[in-house]
Structure formats: structure tokens, C-alpha cells
Amino acid sequence: MTTMTAYRLVQWQAAAQFREVPVPVPGAGEVLVRTDAVGLCHSDLLLQDAPAGAWPFAPPFTLGHEVAGTVAALGPPVSSQSSSVLREGDAVLLSCVHSCGLCERCVRGQENYCALSLRFTTRGVGLDGGLAEYVVAPAREAVRLRSLTPRQAAVLSDAGATAYHAVRCSLAKLPPGSTALVIGAGGLGGFAIQHLRLLSRVRVIAVDTAAHRLEFARELGADELLTSDGSTAARIRELTGGEGCAAVFDFVGTDDTLALSLASAAAAGRITVCGAAGGQVAAGWGRLPGGCELVVSYGHTLSDIRDVVALAEQGAFRIETEDFPFAQVADAYERLRSGALSSRALITMH
């Protein structure tokens, strides 16, 4: 086989299209992965809606950054003696974070803040991603799966591991009995609720605009459910005795959700913004609670994604998806855009 069908963004502010493209060849330090499953993300919609110049790259490229599959071929330097210990036939999950592996931040285990990563360019975002039969990736960014199947693991690549990173980095702010707020109870938020239950002993408040996502958040362990409206911040203050939340996780990132984050945070707390909806908020004296940290969290480290895979293989949390065949990827994106999904959309390739 020399060509394959791929779902590609071919121009800005337009829906992606099926196109025939060459099968990629793995280069030095890379693996060729036969794609089995791909999770869909709201950032895919942001890419399709974006005007020219909004991102530091240009179409065409294949979408899909939550990718799991099977190693089909190894690039020349990748062997059984490599640090990845990958072999043809291994089931793997590809990290959604693309990094150089050589810079000071990478050496320190901060791959998500590598200069290469911070260009917001990875598989499915500027580079060819997983919505095709094959994709190439650096071997160091492939995590071998043992008991998980690629279909089970795919959404851990971004939603599971990014939420884990946000929660892990906030644990120092979450003593037992404190309150955490999760804004946006969809794919990432659902994982964040479960990670909070797993890693801390806190009360979790979930906020969303959709009743079905809030009910799903209850199933995943949220203690309090609030529909987002003009009274939400006051209700949160009431639930916390006026103190606010020790940690706030914004998985939406609009002007409104950022304003809610600031209004809901406790003094000496932490606000973590993961949502990429492009909102802005003024932060300064009298606007941000005293001693409160405001952090923009991007992706996850390779250590994080390995931890998440290990926890999932122990059955520590639920992985819930709504599955669609590759031929229906456009329909899946429309379901995602409409807000009709409770969990992560998953494209099954075969």
C-alpha cells in the first residue's frame, strides 16, 4: 500500500475533508503506527474555525491528536535495544505532546513546556495526525500498552493525561476537606473529577451548562452539581462558607468561565486554565484573591501519561467514550460541536 485515506484540514475556516495521501515512512528515531482509535477534541473544532494567521502553521494536515494503535514498522535507529523497547506488533498510545527530548526543560521532565511543544504543533495540530490508517511519531512519545486496548487508551493521550497533569500540579493546594471546582464536565473535566477522587480527599463541585454532563459528573464522583448561570459564583461561595475553592480547574476557557474562576477561588488557592477557547480576564490587585496562583496548563509530561496508563491498567478510573466509525467522523464532530456528547468522542478506524 502506498496511499491511504486521511481526514485533513485543507484550508482555514472550513470543515476537514477526506483526501488520499501517501503512507508515511518512519525516519530516524520514529515508529510507524497503524491507527486503531482516535479521540476527538474541541481544539479540533477551533482549528477548523480558525482564520489564517491564528495558528503558527498552515494547512493541509491530517487531524487527530489522541491516537492509539499498533506499531507497524520501526525507523532505522529504533531497535529492541532502544529505550522505548518497542517492537512491531506492540499496542501503543501516542502522547499528544510533541517535544524535542534534548532541551533543558525536556531533560527536567517538563516536555510540555519544551519550546517545540509551546509552538502548539503536534500530530493532528499542524503535523499529520491519526485520522488516517497510519501515522508516524518519535518512539520516545509512544507508550506501550499491556492490558489496555488501543480503543480503550486513545482518549488518555490528551483528555486523560492533560487532566491528570492539572490535578497533580495542584495537589499541594488541596488538603483533606478542602474544595475543588471543575468548570466544564465533558471529556477533560470528567477525567479531572476522577483524578481528584483518586489523588485527594476533597469535595468536588462540577459546573456545566448541560444537565446530561452534570449527571455524568455525579456518576464519576462529583459531590455538588451546578448549572452555569449568573448565580453560580454566589452559590459556590455559599457552598464553601464564603471561603471559595482551594483549586479551580477551567476546562473551557471562555471570558465567562475565566471570570467564574476568579470569582470562585480562595485566597492562597490555585486557578488552572486548561480550556483553549480564547477567553481573557483581568487579573491584579482586587481582582485575584490574595496569594492565589493563576496558571495556564498545557498538556502533560511523558511521566504523566505513563502514570495515567498504569492507573488505567489497574482499573483505577473509568474510560467512557461515544464511538463512531471513521466514515462518520464528520457526524462525530457535529455531535461534539452541538454539545450533545457526555463523554469523549472516539473514532474507530477498523
Q: Are residues 9 and 149 in the same domain?
A: yes
Provide the domain count of the chain. 2
Residue 242 CA: distances (Å) to CA of 71, 188, 283: 53, 27, 20
Q: Are residues 306 and 292 in the same domain?
A: no
For every one of its 350 residues, what pLDDT tens digit does the chain have, with 9 covering 90 and above? Answer: 799 999 999 999 999 999 999 999 999 999 999 999 999 999 999 999 999 999 999 999 999 999 999 999 999 875 544 445 799 999 999 999 999 999 999 999 999 999 999 988 999 999 999 999 999 999 999 999 999 999 999 999 999 999 999 999 999 999 999 999 999 999 999 999 999 999 999 999 999 999 999 999 999 999 999 999 999 999 999 999 999 999 999 999 999 999 999 999 999 999 999 998 889 999 888 899 999 999 999 999 999 999 999 999 999 999 999 999 999 999 999 999 999 998 999 999 99
What's the CATH number where 119 sits?
3.90.180.10
Q: What is the DSSP string of 299-337?
A: S--HHHHHHHHHHHHTT-S---EEEEEGGGHHHHHHHHH
Pairing of strands 30-39, 134-138: antiparallel
Q: Are residues 20 and 138 in the same domain?
A: yes
Q: For residues 108 and 250, what is the distance between their CA atoms, to the nearest angstrom? A: 26
Q: Are residues 101 and 207 in the same domain?
A: no
Q: What is the pLDDT of residues 133-171, one digit of tens each?
A: 999 999 999 999 999 999 999 999 999 999 999 999 999
Locate cell 509552538: which residue? Answer: 119
What's the CATH number where 222 sits?
3.40.50.720
The residue range of the domain holding 194 is 162-296
Query: Residue 198: what are its φ and ψ, rounded to 5°?
Result: -80, -40
Q: Are residues 176 and 223 in the same domain?
A: yes
Q: Are residues 115 and 218 in the same domain?
A: no
Q: Are residues 167 and 264 in the same domain?
A: yes
Q: Are residues 229 and 329 in the same domain?
A: no
Q: Are residues 285 and 306 in the same domain?
A: no
Q: For residues 316 and 157, what is the distance between their CA atoms, to the nearest angstrom? A: 17
Query: How confident is the model at residue 78, as a pLDDT?
Result: 55
- For 190, the grid coordinates are 470528567
Q: Are 280 and 255 in contact (CB under 8 A)?
A: yes
Q: For residues 162 and 85, what is the distance between their CA atoms, to the nearest angstrom? A: 25
Q: Are residues 194 and 285 in the same domain?
A: yes
Query: Residue 51: what are its φ and ψ, rounded to 5°?
Result: -80, 160
Q: Are residues 116 and 17 in the same domain?
A: yes
Q: Are residues 95 and 145 in the same domain?
A: yes
**Structure-derived torsion over alpha carbons of residues 184, 187, 190, 191, reported in degrees to the nearest 10:** -130
Q: What is the DSSP string of 250-275?
A: ESS--HHHHHHHHHHEEEEEEEEE--
Query: How confident is the model at residue 80, as a pLDDT?
Result: 47
